[in-house]
């Protein structure tokens, strides 16, 4: 090979020999493997990903920045105002439920307008939400369910676009590396942004500190909204209404979709609670927003290492082996934390979780997309597929939150009982691995 890297009209990159007719398909100058862009892609593990993917990556990174700035401290703010762990569970449950319901509606809008419009609506929704946080901050603890519902509605518009762009800009050959890179940058955001926000809170203090965080998030949200319009427009095609009945028939004829959805449900049982609960448990042991930020800094660093490893190593033929090993490791650390519960052990738990949890969650997600795209007619049902995916995931998240809340309530909100709940949620992940394997076997069977 000469080392020339060619980009075609779709933004896909590939190597070409001299004289290859594909070389000048876009009129863009050839890029050498010695270029900075190529070296960055090699470091990230994304040499087979298109230019459009990296534009999408920019949008999503900005989105992550402005949503992560306040998100990690919303739960501690609720704890400060209500003094009740269950308020954070209900708040997050409202987000999950509203997201699923909204996505079933936003699927219709995406059918008619494309994913850029629904992404923009979601980002505008976040702008409005953060404005409300600034104006009505003293009432968050009283009306947290309303804030959670509105947050979920914004999620429902943005994340259906996110799912469509994953389908558009990755395929079976590069989806593992694509999701690994997204997760690496997400971990980088988790590494730096909460630490910065925690420093702001500690420096300013009190209500003014929270308001400053929301104002900063509000500003970054506008940058993300502007970046959305850098994405390529959707190709012209017939505008259709959502067809959930037809999609259900398609799912009945192609059971790999259903098995993939069940895997996502089981994954959601653990995923939803672990999005925030370790910080809440740590906060109950040491009431310091700054230390919560430091813990997030540490787990973000570990996550970067984990996702970098995944982007270079994971493939469709090995990801489920890594899933099983990760579930075994997560079960082990949860048991150890139960018997030796203290702040240092919770931080160690968070670190191990940061390294292993993504191997389960992202592998399940990419497996679901892979087996779904094995069905030839699925492209016409992408919005319906994404809406159903969210409904199944949210069902799992709500089951997990409900189980945690029930055990927490009947036990008198003891920390031991909370860790025991996390052990039960983790054991369910053996079912996630089983359903992913079943979905792949069914996809292979129907393809044969």
Confidence grade of residue 270 (pLDDT, cut at 50, 70, 90): very high
**pLDDT higher for 303 or 31?**
303
What pLDDT shows up at residue 354?
93
What pLDDT shows up at residue 29?
42
For every residue of 390-413, DSSP letters joined together read HHHHHHHHHHHHHHHHHHHHHTTS
Give 333's contacts (C-beta < 8 A, 6+ positions apart).
348, 349, 352, 353
Which residue carries 């600034």 as its tokens?
134
Q: What does the alpha-carbon distance between residue 164 and residue 159 come to, in Å, rounded to a whole number?
A: 8
What pLDDT shows up at residue 96?
86
Give whole-number Cα distances, 268 to 5, 335, 365, in Å. Answer: 40, 21, 11
Confidence grade of residue 86 (pLDDT, cut at 50, 70, 90): confident
Tell me the β-bridge partners of 14: 6
Over 90: is that where the pLDDT of 259 sits? yes
Over 80: is that where the pLDDT of 401 sits? yes
What pLDDT shows up at residue 32?
53
Alpha helices in 229-254 (DSSP H): 244-253
For every residue of 249-260, DSSP letters joined together read HHHHH-HHHHHH
The single-letter DSSP state of residue 349 is H
What share of the chain has pLDDT > 90, as a percent? 38
Q: pLDDT of 20-34, one tens digit each?
A: 444 444 444 445 555
Structure tokens at 250: 């398609």
The single-letter DSSP state of residue 286 is S
**Cβ proximity of 420 and 228 under 8 Å:** no
The whole-number average pLDDT for the span 388-396 is 92
What pLDDT shows up at residue 33?
57
Q: Of 10-14, 173-177, 401-405, where does the model show the most confidence?
A: 401-405
What share of the chain has pLDDT > 70, as a percent? 85
**Architecture of the domain spanning 42-447:** Up-down Bundle (1.20)
Measured in Å, how far apart are the chain's first and last C-alpha atoms? 35
Give 435's contacts (C-beta < 8 A, 6+ positions apart).
259, 260, 262, 263, 266
Tell me the β-bridge partners of 13: 7
Give whole-number Cα distances, 129 to 72, 132, 136, 413, in Å. Answer: 15, 5, 10, 30
Give backbone dihedrals phi and psi of 13, rounded to 5 degrees, phi first.
Answer: -110, 145
The single-letter DSSP state of residue 4 is E
The whole-number average pLDDT for the span 368-382 is 90
The single-letter DSSP state of residue 20 is -
What pLDDT shows up at residue 1?
42
Confidence grade of residue 131 (pLDDT, cut at 50, 70, 90): confident
The single-letter DSSP state of residue 379 is G
Give 75's contacts (C-beta < 8 A, 6+ positions apart).
88, 91, 92, 276, 279, 280
What pLDDT shows up at residue 387?
92
**pLDDT higher for 412 or 85?**
412
Structure tokens at 167: 């389908």
The single-letter DSSP state of residue 32 is E
Domain segments of the chain as ranges: 4-34, 42-447
When mean pLDDT is compared across 125-134, 325-334, 355-364, the lowest value belongs to 125-134
What pLDDT shows up at residue 40?
64
What pLDDT shows up at residue 395?
92
Give backbone dihedrals phi and psi of 122, rounded to 5 degrees, phi first.
Answer: -60, -45
Over 80: is that where the pLDDT of 74 sits? no
What pLDDT shows up at residue 337?
95
What pLDDT shows up at residue 424?
97
Q: What is the mean pLDDT of the chain?
A: 83
């Amino acid at each position: 090979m000469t080392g020339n890297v060619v980009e075609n009209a779709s933004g896909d990159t590939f190597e070409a020999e001299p004289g290859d007719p594909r070389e000048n398909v876009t009129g863009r100058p050839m890029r050498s493997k010695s270029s900075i862009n190529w070296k960055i892609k090699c470091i990230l593990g994304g040499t087979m990903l298109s230019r459009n993917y990296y534009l999408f990556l920019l949008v999503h990174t900005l989105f992550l920045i402005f949503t992560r700035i306040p998100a990690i401290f919303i739960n501690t703010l609720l704890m400060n105002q209500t003094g009740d762990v269950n308020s954070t569970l209900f708040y997050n449950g409202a987000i999950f439920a509203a997201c699923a319901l909204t996505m079933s509606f936003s699927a219709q809008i995406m059918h008619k307008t494309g994913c850029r419009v629904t992404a923009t609506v979601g980002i505008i929704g976040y702008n409005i939400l953060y404005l409300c946080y600034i104006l009505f901050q003293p009432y968050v603890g009283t009306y947290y369910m309303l804030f959670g519902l509105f947050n979920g509605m914004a999620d429902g518009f943005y994340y259906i676009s996110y799912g469509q762009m994953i389908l558009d800009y990755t395929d079976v050959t590069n989806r593992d590396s694509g999701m690994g890179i997204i997760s690496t940058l997400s971990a980088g955001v988790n590494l730096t942004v909460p630490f910065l926000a925690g420093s702001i809170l500690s420096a300013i203090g009190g209500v003014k500190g929270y308001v400053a965080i929301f104002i900063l998030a509000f500003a970054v949200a506008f940058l993300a909204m502007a970046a959305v319009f850098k994405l390529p427009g959707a190709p012209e095609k017939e505008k259709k209404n959502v067809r959930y009945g037809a999609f259900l028939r398609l799912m009945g004829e192609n059971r790999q979709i259903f098995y993939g959805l069940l895997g996502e449900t089981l994954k959601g049982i653990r995923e939803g609670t672990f999005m925030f609960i370790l910080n809440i448990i740590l906060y109950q042991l040491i009431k310091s927003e700054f230390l919560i930020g430091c813990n997030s800094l540490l787990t973000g660093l570990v996550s970067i290492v984990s996702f970098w490893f995944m982007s270079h190593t994971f493939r469709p033929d090995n990801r489920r082996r890594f899933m099983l090993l990760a579930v075994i490791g997560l079960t082990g650390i949860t048991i150890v934390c139960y018997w030796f519960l203290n702040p240092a052990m919770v931080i160690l738990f968070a670190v191990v979780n940061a390294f292993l949890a993504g191997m389960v969650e992202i592998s399940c997600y990419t497996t679901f997309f892979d087996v779904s795209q094995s069905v030839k007619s699925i492209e016409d049902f992408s919005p319906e597929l994404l809406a159903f995916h969210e409904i199944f995931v949210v069902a799992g998240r709500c089951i997990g939150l409900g189980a945690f809340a029930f055990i927490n309530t009947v036990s008198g909100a003891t920390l031991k009982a909370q860790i025991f709940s996390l052990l039960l949620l983790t054991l369910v992940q053996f079912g996630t691995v089983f359903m992913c394997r079943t979905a792949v076997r069914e996809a292979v069977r129907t393809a044969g």
